[in-house]
Chain A
Amino acid sequence: MDVTFKVAGEAGQGLQTIGEILAHAFARAGRHLFAHQDYMSRVRGGHNFFQVRVADVPVCASRRDVNVLVALSDQAIVEHRSEVVEGGAIIYDGERRKVTCSGRECFSVPLQRLAEEVGSRVMMNSVAVGAVWGLFRADFRFLEEELTEHFRDKGADVISANAKAGRAGYEFALKNYQGACCYPFEPLTGRRLVLKGNEALALGALAAGCRFMSAYPMTPSTSITEFIAAEAERFNLVMEQAEDEIAAINLALGAAFAGVRSLVATSGGGFCLMVEALGLAGATETPIVIINGQRPGPSTGLPTRTAQGDLLFVLHASQGDFPRVVLAPGDAEEAFYLAAKAFNIAERYQLPVILLSDQHLADSYVTLEPFDLSRVTIDRGLTLSAEEGDRLGGNYKRHLLTDSGVSPRAFPGLGRALVVTAGDEHDEEGHLIEDGATRNQQMDKRMRKLEVLRAEMAGPKTFGDASAAVALFSWGSTLGAVREAVELLNGRGQPVRGVHLSELWPFPREKVSEALSGAKQVIGVEANYGGQGARLLRMETGVACTGSIRKYDGRCFTPDEIVEGLGKAVR
């Protein structure tokens, strides 16, 4: 089984609810899934969709072809009809729609009437969910359990009414749909997670001991902020909604200076406002983790869409040279473990770590094996012991010159050591200086940290035919689509290797060069106009991409597009 559902309609029609219920019901039936969301920057109306791919094996990207379209609006029929494959189905309410749907694939289900018959039109979405379930002649139990779970907080009456509505849709489809395909579903054995990238990032941050977050709401990162805020009391943490992103990062730096693992989350526009304080983190060697959920720029751009256009910006943002780390998780699993790693690196090396995500990763659901919490450790790096702090007192040097460049940290008010630092150039004690020799010592000390750090950066993930002459070079959230494209290509006898990098800076030069060695053609795959990852690759290794597959329309890559794009990109 490898089937794609698309639920399309206006904002506010509940298509996310339909999508989520279906996705979870299939997961309950032991299926793997990948789901992505496409929504407009508005609260009601417009045109949005929620696309769910369900398969027997793990899947990590959306496909272009749609098997079942649930069209909740006229525009949904018009816009997506052509995506529906031969033998697929379009579920729509023929009694309500103005657009006629007359092909073989069209299957009218009186969603509103059936909902009204069992109680209220409010339950139209449960009718639709039931109809999809009926199309597959799947066991109703799975859906019933999921509806029960979904409406648990709303009480027994709501649960039973929605189960009734679901069954009405289900039975209507069983009775009236001719082309039904039949998949025998067995209950999931063992445990499996269904979650989206932002949830994985937030869980990773919490596991890593993040106890302070500040943020100004901005798509697509707001759901991280709300997730952390919802856990404030359970974890006794602080999530402070800031007056702007400048405040957000400075709040977090204050908390980090005082000794708490601190996080900010934003998108490119908010990151722009944080740039000066990013340099402050570098100068004062204050650890901080910054999540930039990218969306297409410049300026407000496409506020609810996806892009990978901030790579070179986050890498170079702020004046002067200072060490920083850039990690770009490829999927929700990496998002969890890299978020945890980010906090350790930030504190061990006392610098800013940027987690470069994007709307596609942020909002896409995927099934995962349960997280292994034993893989998450908390290493707060070099800190001054209480006794040492008391002994040193006013002689403590926050920016002590060391071979590694890392100076032991102490925290204000937690001992007798006086902690002094400044964004101005400073001496070992943290006081302001203007002489060249001390300046050089402190610059050299800070920059030394990068070289030790480079060895800690994981090399690229490689897949496909490792000896293939054609290599796809990619980074960040394109991982799933590229991986599947490479499988498709190799499967049809076209040897290709995938080289995908998630730990971008400091750039693991040797590891990347090695993974690309022998490749005659290197094709950069990325969601931006200028090929920023390809430029970084050339800058760091000298390897120039011979071709590229790029998109900047704000939509995620499908494996199909990459396969097609490769035809044009290879010489």
Chain B
Amino acid sequence: MVTSEDFGKFETAWCPGCGNFAILDAVKAALVACDLAPHQVLLVSGIGQSSKLPHYLRCNCFNVIHGRALPAATGAKLANSTLPVIAVGGDGDGYAEGGNHFLHALRRNIGITYLVHDNQVFALTKGQASPTSDTGFHTGTTPWGLPLPPFNPVAIAVEMNVSLVARGYAGEKEHLAGLIAEGIRTPGFALIDILQPCVTFNKVNTYRWYRERCYKLDQSHNAADRDAALAKAREWGDHIPIGILYRGNRPAYETLVPGLKAGPLVARTLDPRAIAPLLPRFEAGTVAAS
């Protein structure tokens, strides 16, 4: 029986009041709910305050460079396809620096649970606009007010028919833990975009701002209906739906890869003589003596 205590307690580098604390609690609760002990899960993260999360609980951790959590996590999943893999990062890490990888992770529908701490701002570099910042957002790099619309990760994920698309809110910890657990249990790619107040650098999208807008999706939403999901994914502004937006119906990528039919790559025995059958192809033929 796995308990929350198994994951330990660590000192963090986060600001007091940061949404990350609730997300960390939710990750632990989700692992407990899925009965995954620390050694039974791999967390892969990029760079940013959110990407430090795997260092703050006992687990296997590959903390890579900015924006590259998804390809590294994909490689690990393809190497050991039975290992639950969770990728963690922020909106800058995943949607800016790693944007291309995000698109292709959706396309692959690889069996990874991707947690994006979406605080709509670059925090570790002390407050610049991010791909999900709202139009008009004033920061050090957009003193004139950001003229661009926010990137909509959940709509794109729905459009790509990935296995699970959800939106969580750090202020609703138990609800979020449920979403993360559902992501871990779902084969294929699960995007959990987590609305996370940044108490230091985002004075617009505050706890209060989210609390006034977020509402939980109920039974009336049919997550299997892609059009309905897309409509919910587009909802932003005065009302922001949280919960499972969409459940796709594509197989997980790792089940489609021919080289994995024989089981996880990590289980292969290696023998140089295995190439012997390839060599005749390169041998100069001989001619029977006449």
Contact = CB atoms under 8 A, between A and B. Distances in A.
Interface stretch (B200-208, B230-238, B256-264): B256-264
Nearest to B13: A432
Given A203-B278, A209-B270, A276-B65, A419 B60 contact: yes
B65 A277 contact: yes
Given A247-B104, A280-B64, A232 B39 contact: no
B1 interface: no
B101 A247 contact: yes
Interface in A252-273: 252-262
Contact of B287 (A142, A208, A252): A142
Given A371-B279, A413-B80, A209 B65 contact: no
A262 B288 CA distance: 42
Contact of B39 (A203, A246, A276, A393): A393
Contacts of B282: 193-195, 199, 203
A141 B287 contact: yes
A530 interface: no
Nearest to A368: B282
Given A206-B278, A412-B42, A421 B272 contact: no
Given A211-B268, A394-B38, A412 B80 contact: yes
Contacts of B83: 258, 412-413
A414 B80 CA distance: 9
Contacts of B286: 28, 187-189
Contact of B285 (A149, A237, A246, A340): A149
Given A231-B278, A378-B272, A432-B52, A413 B39 contact: yes
A412 B287 contact: no
B111 to A, nearest CB: 13
Interface residues of B, number: 66
Interface in A499-519: none
A191 B260 CA distance: 35
Contact of B62 (A29, A203, A257): A257
A218 interface: no
A253 B79 contact: no
A495 interface: no
B275 A207 contact: yes
Interface in B48-99: 52, 54-55, 58-65, 68, 71-80, 82-83
A192 interface: yes
B278 to A, nearest CB: 7
Interface string B234-275: 000000000000000000000001111111011010111111
A168 to B, nearest CB: 21
A268 B76 CA distance: 26
B96 to A, nearest CB: 14
A209 B285 CA distance: 28
Given A187-B287, A214-B75, A251-B75, A421 B80 contact: no
Contacts of B272: 207-209, 340, 373, 376-378
A252 B73 CA distance: 10
B265 A212 contact: yes
Contact of B284 (A194, A206, A279): A194
A175 to B, nearest CB: 23
B152 interface: no
Contacts of B59: 418, 420
Bin the interface of chain A by size: 35 or more
Contact of B61 (A24, A414, A420): A420
B3 interface: no
B284 A193 contact: yes
A424 interface: yes
A415 B44 contact: no
Interface in A356-406: 367, 370-371, 373, 376-378, 393-394
A203 B283 CA distance: 13
A199 B283 CA distance: 13
Given A251-B72, A373-B272, A238 B60 contact: no
A27 interface: yes
A240 interface: yes
Interface string B219-238: 00000000000000000000
Contacts of A233: 258-259, 261
B290 interface: yes
A238 B259 contact: yes
Interface in A163-210: 187-189, 191-195, 199, 203, 206-209
A243 interface: yes
Given A240-B78, A257-B72, A411-B266, A430 B61 contact: yes
B40 interface: yes
A236 interface: yes
A370 B283 contact: yes
Nearest to A378: B270
A565 interface: no
A430 B101 CA distance: 25
A423 B100 contact: no
Contact of B72 (A250, A279, A393): A250
A259 B274 CA distance: 19
A146 interface: yes
Given A193-B279, A243-B101, A373-B276, A422 B61 contact: yes
B100 A247 contact: yes
Nearest to B40: A413
A1 B39 CA distance: 66
B71 A431 contact: no
A544 interface: no
A261 B270 contact: yes
A254 B75 contact: yes
A248 B74 CA distance: 10
A313 interface: no
Contact of A238 (B40, B260, B283, B285): B260
A529 interface: no
Contacts of B284: 24, 27-28, 188, 191-194, 367
A180 to B, nearest CB: 21
A44 to B, nearest CB: 28
B79 A416 contact: no
A417 interface: yes
Nearest to B268: A211
B55 A432 contact: yes
A244 B38 contact: no
B285 A421 contact: no
4 A-B pairs with least C-beta separation: A254-B75, A209-B270, A412-B60, A27-B284
6 contacts: A28-B286, A203-B275, A209-B271, A258-B80, A378-B270, A416-B39
Interface of A: 24, 27-29, 141-142, 145-146, 149, 187-189, 191-195, 199, 203, 206-209, 211-212, 214, 231-240, 242-244, 246-248, 250-262, 276-277, 279-280, 284, 340, 367, 370-371, 373, 376-378, 393-394, 411-424, 430-432
Given A370-B279, A422-B64, 9 more contacts: A145-B287, A206-B274, A209-B272, A233-B261, A236-B268, A256-B75, A367-B284, A378-B272, A432-B55
